[in-house]
Amino acid sequence: MTQRDDDDGGAGARAQAPHGRRRGRWLRRLMWLPVVLVAGSVLQVLALRVIDPPFSMFMAIRQIEARMAGEDDFTVYYQWRDLDRIAPALAVSVIAAEDQNFARHRGFDLDAIEQARAHNARGGATRGASTISQQTAKNLFLWGGRSWLRKGMEAWYTLLIEWLWPKTRILEVYVNVAEFGDGVYGAQAAARRYFGKDADALTAAESARLAAVLPSPRRYNAARPGPYVQRRAQWIQRNARQIGGDAYLESLR
């Protein structure tokens, strides 16, 4: 009886051993997963410092949404343009409209965040405080929404691009992947679509109108501006002059 019990115990231990080894392998793989994800994101951002992105995550998601909705004629308009082939007025207008502290902050504008928090606490229209760096991270790598996961990944990618890219590269990528209308991404596509010209020929007024639609590009149209876009474009032009106009771009180099 004792010998048989010993044999049964030995067989059970041998049966459990492979299961324990498999579980150990999976645990080791899970422990390595954060390292792989961090290393992958760093390499991704490093590569895009010198490689112009052929598309953004926002473009891919919008394309999928259109297909699922049966919009078979939907087209993404996107054509990369280096920053020196885009009118300086557009770059300055985007900064004046979206992130006037762009040259000074390191990805997050704490003063703007506090001002937005105080404004939102008083009620009324919600005000955001995303910097151009944050918006670049979101548009290029992520998806829309307000989940904690997405916000956490946005913060991580924002830190990476601020660490690994110069300010001029961040601005260059942003004006190329920002959505200026439904399916219209980047300065060159927007200039051709709305004004029938290349991005380097945009005037200050046209640039301000393009920057004015950025908060809601599928709601507003730069070619047919309503009262809101007209007022906002005028405000953007005033702000662009106040921050130094085209000379502001020299502070980024």
Could you tell me if 24 and 147 lie in one domain? no
Could you tell me if 123 and 108 lie in one domain? yes
Could you tell me if 69 and 2 lie in one domain? no
Could you tell me if 108 and 202 lie in one domain? yes
Could you tell me if 141 and 203 lie in one domain? yes
Could you tell me if 110 and 1 lie in one domain? no
86: number of Cβ within 10 Å = 24
Cβ contacts of residue 134 below 8 Å, gap of 6+? Answer: 107, 108, 154, 155, 158
On the question of pLDDT at 12 being above 80, the answer is no
Whole-angstrom distance, CA of residue 204 vs CA of residue 206: 6
Averaged confidence pLDDT in the chain: 86
Cβ contacts of residue 209 below 8 Å, gap of 6+? Answer: 222, 225, 229, 233
Could you tell me if 70 and 150 lie in one domain? yes
Whole-angstrom distance, CA of residue 187 vs CA of residue 210: 9
| Mean pLDDT to the nearest integer, 219-227 | 93
Whole-angstrom distance, CA of residue 82 vs CA of residue 169: 9
pLDDT in tens, 93-106: 999 999 999 998 88
103: number of Cβ within 10 Å = 16
* 14 band by pLDDT with thresholds 50, 70 and 90: low
Distance of CA 125 to the CA centre of its chain: 23
Q: What is the CATH number of the domain that holds 66?
A: 1.10.3810.10
Could you tell me if 142 and 22 lie in one domain? no
Could you tell me if 129 and 113 lie in one domain? yes
DSSP conformation class of 179: E
> What's the whole-model pTM score?
0.83
pLDDT in tens, 28-53: 666 656 777 888 889 999 999 999 99
Please give the residue that has the higher pLDDT: either 80 or 104. 80
107-122 burial, b at 16+ Cβ within 10 Å, e below that, comes to bbbeebeeebeeeeee
Overall number of domains in the chain = 2
Range of the domain at 138: 52-252
Could you tell me if 109 and 147 lie in one domain? yes
